[in-house]
Amino acid sequence: MTTTTIDMPTTPVLEASGVTMRFGGLTAVRSVDLTVGAGEIVGLIGPNGAGKTTFFNCLTGLYVPTEGQVRYKGTLLPPKPHLVTTAGVARTFQNIRLFANMTVLENVLVGRHTRTKEGLWSALLRGPGFKKAEAASHERAMELLEFVGLSHKADHVSRNLPYGEQRKLEIARALASDPGLLLLDEPTAGMNPQETRAAEELIFGIRDQGVAILVIEHDMRFIFNLCDRVACLVQGEKLIEGTAETVQGDERVIAAYLGTPFEGAPGAEELAEVEAAEAHSAEAHRDGTDSTTRPEGEAQ
């Protein structure tokens, strides 16, 4: 008997379509489409203020996008952070958000609570069901600490950890909710080159366990080593998306990072208008009121 395999189109793990976020008159994210497939690591880059974190906030229910939709494995995500976590999307934060006075282990246990079914009464009465669940959570949390390389610090108070280890702890806490998609907002910020290399390996390891990843970073070497695909946001709009090679070589991306506007860039028209107006007013100033102007070539 022969078996034939049919290539079924797989549903993306994450599918954001037309996501727009406005704050009053400011459009921080403008009609952004982005997908992350199973087994993929996708990078999100862009200069400061480009809208990367705002986009993450729209994906995770922290902000309700002004327009657009976000689907996780084909299902619309509810606009509430804890429901998004329960659905299977976990994240870390650009500004580390740990419980500073809790131990390392306790922080991971907090991340686990969306996956424990024991209710309030069970917890208060500390019955056998609760004790069993507690032991299982503890075991899983220690496994995760081992995985990120922090098991030897399980009893340390989180605020005493060096910065790089706090970032790793945030990742362990996010993984404790058993996500299918992990969103990392600048996971290597503040890390030294060795820690950054180790973070790269850690993220590959997470991907190998079947978790799809979307990662924001400013460290281009890190992004281009790690990602299967990279999207670049500039002033809230997706400028380009493609393989590391494509994005790396795109002159508009280089210009966006160096701050040089290019033809057709979002905001370039406004900038050209401002520059023209400034030139015009400088000219008027020279022709009219400025009596100190010297003829060209004369020594200053």
Ligand X SMILES: Nc1ncnc2c1ncn2[C@@H]1O[C@H](COP(=O)(O)OP(=O)(O)OP(=O)(O)O)[C@@H](O)[C@H]1O
Q: Which of 41, 38, 43 is nearest to 9 (CA)?
A: 38
DSSP label at residue 103 = B
Residue 76, binding choice from Mg ion, ligand X, none, Cβ under 5 to 8 Å by partner class: none
Name the binder of 49 from Mg ion, ligand X, none, CB < 5-8 A by kind: ligand X
Phi and psi (nearest 5°) for 263?
Answer: -60, 130
Contacts (CB under 5 A) with Mg ion, residues 90-129: 94
Q: Which does 164 bind (CB under 5 to 8 A by kind): Mg ion, ligand X, none?
A: none
Binding site for ligand X (CB under 6 A): 23, 26, 28, 46, 48-54, 94
Name, in order, each residue with C-beta under 8 angstroms of 158's C-beta and a sequence gap of 6 or more: 98, 99, 100, 101, 102, 103, 104, 107, 166, 169
CA atoms within 13 A on the CB side of 128: 0
Determine which residue in the list 27, 53, 92, 235 makes contact with Mg ion, applying CB under 5 A: 53
The verdict on 158 binding Mg ion (CB under 5 A) reads no
Of the pair 89, 109, the CB lying nearest ligand X is at 89
Query: Residue 66 CB, nearest distance to ligand X (Å)?
Result: 12
Alpha-carbon torsion (258, 263, 266, 271), positive or negative? positive
For tokens 């994450």, the residue is 14
Specify the residue, 28 or 211, whose C-beta has the smaller distance to ligand X: 28
Smallest separation, CB 44 to ligand X (Å): 9
Our CB check for Mg ion shows the closer of 94 and 116 to be 94
